[in-house]
Amino acid sequence: MKSWPFWIAGTLVLAVLFHISAILAYPYAVTGVLHSRVVESEGANKMIAGPRASAEARGVVRPSPDLLYAICAYDLTSGPVKFSAPVPDTYWSLSMFAANTDNFFTVNDTQAARDEVEVILVTEDQIVPDPKGIPIVVAPSAKGAALVRTLISSEDKLPALQEAVKAARCATM
C-alpha cells in the first residue's frame, strides 16, 4: 500500500518528460514532413507554385482561398540559395522558415524597394563572393522552407497573379 505514491510520482515524471519531448520535437517533425514531401515531388531548391486553394487543399496549413501560394524546400548543404520573385500590385510576401518552423525572415510588397525581390540565403559559414547588392540572409538551419503568398485582389487579375507566382524562383547558386 505504501508504494502507490511512488507510482504516481513516477507516472507524473514520465508524463512531464514525454510532454516536453513532444513539444520540442513536433516543430522539427512538421518541417521534416513538409520538406520530404516537397523534395520527393519536385526536389530541393525549386519553387513550386500550387493551384488556387480550395476546401480540399492542404499543401499549406489552413490555406486561404484568397491567396496564391508557392513553396520552396531549401537545402543549403550544397551552397547558398538565391530567391527571386516579381512583386505584383497587391499584397505579397516571401517568408522563410527554419527547420523548427520559426519564421526568421519576411519581406512584403510594402517593404520591397522594386518590383522584384531578390535574396540570397546562406548558413553562417557560407560566403557569397559577389552578391551584387542582393541582400544576404543567414538561415538558422541548413534546411527549411520558403513560402510566397499573393493576395487575389480581383478575379480579373487572377491570370496575371498566377503568372507572377509561377515566376518566383529558388535555386542553388
What percent of the chain shows pLDDT beyond 70? 90
Burial classification of residue 14, based on how many CB atoms lie within 10 Å of its CB (0-12 exposed, 13-18 middle, 19 or more buried): exposed
Q: Report residue 53's pLDDT band, with 50, 70 and 90 as the boundaries.
A: confident
Tell me: the pLDDT tens digits for 69-82?
A: 998 999 999 999 99
Tell me: the pLDDT tens digits for 116-165?
A: 999 999 999 998 888 889 999 999 999 999 999 999 999 999 999 999 99
Cα 99 from chain centre: 9
pLDDT at 1 over 60: no
Domain 42-172 homologous superfamily, CATH: Domain of unknown function DUF1254 (2.60.40.1610)
The residues spanned by each domain of the chain are 42-172
Average pLDDT, the chain: 87
